[in-house]
Amino acid sequence: MIIPDYQAGSIVNLMSSITQSRGGAINSLYAPLRGLDMARLCAVDNVVLLVIDGLGYDYLRQHPQSALYQHLHSAITSVAPPTTVASITTFLTGMAPQQHGLTGWFTYFRELGSVVTVLPYTHRNGGATLSTQGIEAREFFDHTSVFEQMAAECYSVTPSWLKTSEYNISHTVGAEMVPHSGYQHCFDEIVRLVHCHKQRKYIYAYWPEFDGLAHEYGVGSDQVARHFAKLDGAFSKLLDQLHGSGTALLVTADHGFVDIPPEHRLDLADHPQLKECLLMPLCGEPRLVYCYVRYEKREQFERYVRDILIDVCDLYRSADLIAQGIFGLGVPHAELSSRVGDYTLVMKDNYVLTGRIPGELPLRMVGFHGGLSAAEVYVPLVLAEC
C-alpha cells in the first residue's frame, strides 16, 4: 500500500508550488513540491499545467524514446484515492481529499442522505443534476478554486463537452473557460493563450481520452499505445511552438492504471453473506471500496473478509486510514469520515470489487484505478522550459 507523499512529493505539493509562483499565498499545510525550482517557476511569464488523465509514471517509463519521457522531471504521487474525482479536485482547489472531502466516483453525502456520482453531479441512479433540485454545486461543494487564489490571468482549457459541467464550473471560478474539441485543438489553444498578451498567466489544460481508452481496452492495449504516440507527437510540436515564450510547461496526471483480468473482477452479488452485512451500496472505487456496515453485522463482515477475501483485499477501519494520513494532512473535512464508511477494502494486486444497484449495467471495463498500488499512485512530472 503506497501512502501519497503529502509532505513534499504529491500533486497537492505541485499545486502549492504553482499557486505560490503565480502570486498566491504560501500554503501553510502543504509545502511546495520537493525538487521543483521555485525561483525559476516564479520568474517565467507563463505556467502551463497539462493534465493527461490516466497517464501513470509506470506507463511513461515504458516509453523512454517519447518526447514526454525525454522531459521527465520526476515521479510524484497522486492523492488517495488516485482517481479523477479526488485528484482533479486537488488540481482545481490546491487541497488534498483530507480537506476537500471528495473521495471517489460514488460518494455518500450524509447531508443529502444519498450516494452521489460526483462528476456528473447526479444521484447514483442517474436523472437530472442536483442543481435542478435546488442544490447548487458552487454552494454545496464550497471550495475555493486555485484560480481565485492567484494574482495572474487564469485559463481553463477543457473539453467542450465539459463546458456545461456543474462540477467543472463550480471548481474553475476565477478562470476563463476555453473549450477544445481534441488534443490538437487543446494544444493550439495553449499556444494562443501563451502569446495573447504579456501579463503573467496560469493555464490549466485537461485531456481525458487516454483515460477513456485505458478503461475500455486496458492500459496495455494497442489502442492506448497508438493514442499515446499521437499525443506525444503533438507534445513535441507544442514544445517547438512555445520556444522562447518564457513558459514553464508542466505535464502530469491524476492517476495511473492497472488492467484487471475477468476472473479478478469480483461482483458483490456473488458474495451474499458479505452483502447482507451492508447498510448501503458499496461506495468509493472498485479498487478502494468504502463499506457501510450494519452494526450488528460487523463481526460477520470482518470474519468474511479475513476468511474468504484474504487473497483479494486488505481490510482497514476507515477511521484508522484517516488517522494514518492516507487522505492528506491536517484537520479533515467535517464530512470526511462519513464519506469513507466504516471500513475500507484496499484491493490487492489486480483485483476489483463492484456492486450494482437496481437498473445499473455491469461494468465492462478492462483498466481500473483508485487503488493504492505503485502503478496507480505514482504519476510523472514532466517539465519543459520554453
Q: What is the pLDDT of residues 121-136, one digit of tens each?
A: 999 998 899 999 999 9
Q: What is the mean pLDDT of the segment spanning 360-373?
A: 94
Neighbour count for residue 26 (Cβ, 10 Å): 10
- pLDDT at 22 (0 to 100): 98
pTM of the model: 0.97
Domains assigned to the chain: 11-259+373-385 (3.40.720.10), 262-366 (3.30.1360.180)
Q: What is the mean pLDDT of the segment spanning 342-348?
A: 98
Q: What is the pLDDT of residues 313-326, one digit of tens each?
A: 999 999 999 999 99
Please give the angle made by the CA atoms of 76, 82 and 86, to the nearest 5 degrees: 110
Cell digits for 224? 492506448
Which percentage of the chain shows pLDDT scores above 70? 100
DSSP assigned state of 24: P
* CA 368 – CA 378 distance, rounded (Å): 14
**328 and 7 Cβ atoms separated by less than 8 Å:** no
Is the peptide bond preceding residue 81 cis, with omega within 30 degrees of 0? yes
Q: Give the three-class secondary structure for 157.
A: strand
- pLDDT at 16 (0 to 100): 98
**141 and 170 Cβ atoms separated by less than 8 Å:** yes
Confidence of residue 362 (pLDDT cuts 50, 70, 90): confident
Question: Is 90 exceeded by the pLDDT of residue 276?
Answer: yes
Question: Is 90 exceeded by the pLDDT of residue 300?
Answer: yes
DSSP assigned state of 2: P
Question: Is 90 exceeded by the pLDDT of residue 214?
Answer: yes
Q: Helical H runs in the chain?
A: 11-21, 38-43, 57-60, 67-70, 84-93, 97-100, 137-141, 146-149, 166-171, 183-195, 209-217, 222-242, 272-275, 298-308, 318-323, 336-339, 374-377
Q: What is the pLDDT of residues 197-206, one digit of tens each?
A: 989 999 999 9
* CA 228 – CA 36 distance, rounded (Å): 26
- pLDDT at 127 (0 to 100): 87
Q: What is the pLDDT of residues 41-75, one digit of tens each?
A: 999 999 999 999 999 999 999 999 999 999 999 99
